[in-house]
Amino acid sequence: MNIMLFHSTFGPRPAVGRAADRLREAGHEVWTPDLFGGRTFDAVEEAMAFQDEIGKDELLKRAVLAAAPYSERGLVYAGFSLGASIAQTLALGDDKARGLLLLHGTSDIAANASVDDLPVQLHVAEPDPFETDDWLSAWYLQMGRAGADVEIYRYAGAGHLYTDPGLPDYDAEAAEATWRVALGFLEGLQQAQPAAR
């Protein structure tokens, strides 16, 4: 699969590169756009302040420009936290999107959003202060109404960004379980892909 993988509010940390390498080892082609101009963070307060300084519209513009050269190939959009939010927005607006893999995050859904059975997989901590039970229930229903085929996986006791070994949220067991399920999801998309003519 062709995967566009967006980093979190902590920026393009080494964990993003390691995730991309893991996906490549499984046979996928992966791009990891840098939306922060190389800036990375260890503290969430500094990271969110920088994100706010850039602004949501500018971040989305940078993401669209990064994905545009590859969208004709039929992308799987993926991302971590902030990156998941961006990936969701792009996938719901791209009629050639092949799938959506969300790690630690979701986003608002436009009332007129419409997709054709888009496969979506979400992995989040339980509980997660940024992805509450009420929010996820409403999000799931809205995604279904938009035409997405959604699976949600919750990881009890894990921190918000539990797949990054360099952050306090890291949970090795939850991270491995996430990647095992996510790789299976991507393999299923690969098998469902029409043969090239």
Q: How far apart are CA 143 and CA 123, in angstroms?
A: 15
Classify residue 197: in a domain, yes or no.
no
Q: How many domains does the chain have?
A: 1
Q: pLDDT (tens digit, 9 = 90+) per residue, 137-189?
A: 999 999 999 999 999 999 999 999 999 999 999 999 999 999 999 999 999 99
CATH code of the domain covering residue 93: 3.40.50.1820
pTM of the model: 0.95
User: Domain range spanning residue 107?
Assistant: 2-192
Report pLDDT digits (tens) over 3-57. Answer: 999 999 999 999 999 999 999 999 999 999 999 999 999 999 999 999 999 999 9
The rounded distance, in Å, linking the Cα atoms of 71 and 84 is 17
Nearby residues of 187 by Cβ (< 8 Å), 6 or more positions away: 26
